[in-house]
Structure 1
Amino acid sequence: MLTKTLQIPTADGQADAFAAFPEGEGRHPGVLMYADGFGIRPVLRDMARELAGHGYYVLVPNFFYRHGPAPVIELPECIGEEDRVAIVPQLMRLIEAHTAERVLRDADAFLDFLTVQPEVGDGPVAVTGYCIGGLLATRTAVAHPDRVAALAAFHAPVGADGPGNLAKLAAEVHFGHAESDLTPEALGELNQALDAAGVGYTSEIYPGTVHGFTMSDTDAYDDAALRRHWERLLPLLGRTLERGGEPGHPPR
């Protein structure tokens, strides 16, 4: 597996980023991976490498780059409940400053950068994200229906922009929700919005999970749920990217 640290030119400066992709010649489908609010760190690099090992070029940008290179906030090796007391208020300030307008400007830059990398093949890409990164991934897919064939988001506030926003989706979708984040009733409302969009999707609550369940460096981590995440994500990418899936025409 090959990795790189990169700088992505944006309308507002330079975003540092991590990329992982298979060794050897050839071009690979591109995946834009948005980190959770804690940002790029060893666990995110490991997840990018894992995904790249299945034949993808994975780009993980630091979407808080306006505040400095990753890690923007100093983090302990394992993030527990006591650590969150100090960290979360700092994160909320960054999240509140990261407006929808900034997200969309950055999405343009991130997709442009990803698709011109020499290791990335022609055709649509996928976007995936965790926690707040799942919302950014959703906004990216909504804004670029002609470029994004697959969207996956995990323990993410994907409905934050309202059902009307989801109606604009064209990508095939998987949403994996934490049990602590979403009631069955809220899940039903969210899935109605996906039905209205007419896209292929799975949207489900992962049993027994709390917010952040994919992140092995936090006390929210759930090993079984992380495996389920891969069991949902990899087939989605296989259908939509490796076989040349077209945005808007996923299997139902």
Structure 2
Amino acid sequence: MKVGILGTGHIGKTLVRRLVAAGHDVKVANSRGPDSVDRDLLSSGGRAVTAAEAGIDVDVLILSIPLNRIPEIAPLIAGIPEKTVIIDTSNYYPLRDEEIAAIESGQVESLWVVEQLGRPVAKAWNAIGSDSFARLNEPSGSPDRISIPVAADNDRDRSIAMALVEDTGFDAVDAGTLAQSWRQQPGGPAYCTDLTKAEMPQALDAAERERLPKRRDLAVAAIMERIGGGGKNPSTDDLVRINRALFM
């Protein structure tokens, strides 16, 4: 498959490496231009392009950028063919993104993204910590393989997103529609708790929507106290232990 990736943060970098290794033709872009893309990342086989080029002639475009930057890329998305599947990996953190009134009022994050872009998306790779994603991939059939929930509103988007999740070394779990994707948002039992495919459906069903924001913010405070600021990336041990204690 031809895949474009917008974003070279922790999740974006791992996506490039895993999808190239799985045999996909991958090009990657960030907001600073092709020359700023890490050369080590490109040594895996990904190709650096401009943000405008990332969505040209691809089957899938993956958005791995902070949620508050979604409106900035809407003009780029507008010119992409409808057949191109858009997959969003973002999460809403008001401390980082500043408060978004619609989400604060209860709009599901994924539906806000759809509204900004003016087209459907699939939601995937948002509910796994970047350290787990980088280190804990396993071959298909491994008994303790971690699962990743995938939400979408049509079968094509869902099936393609789930196949790509499998290609990155994790079990894909059908998490329903985008209207149900609040269950994989920060604060829910499915979020960054490293559950298996057998465990994930129960975690999705146990999510309590009204409790998500408070639990999300408690987790942020606990992680910040544990590792400090400065953009540090929480380890799997810290993130999963804290999230399981607060969310499950």
The answer to whether the superposition gives a TM-score over 0.5 is no
**Structure with the bigger percentage of strand:** 1
**Structure with the bigger percentage of helix:** 2
The TM-score normalised by the length of structure 2 is: 0.30
The TM-score normalised by the length of structure 1 is: 0.29
Larger RCO, structures 1/2 (Cα 8 Å, 6+ apart): 1
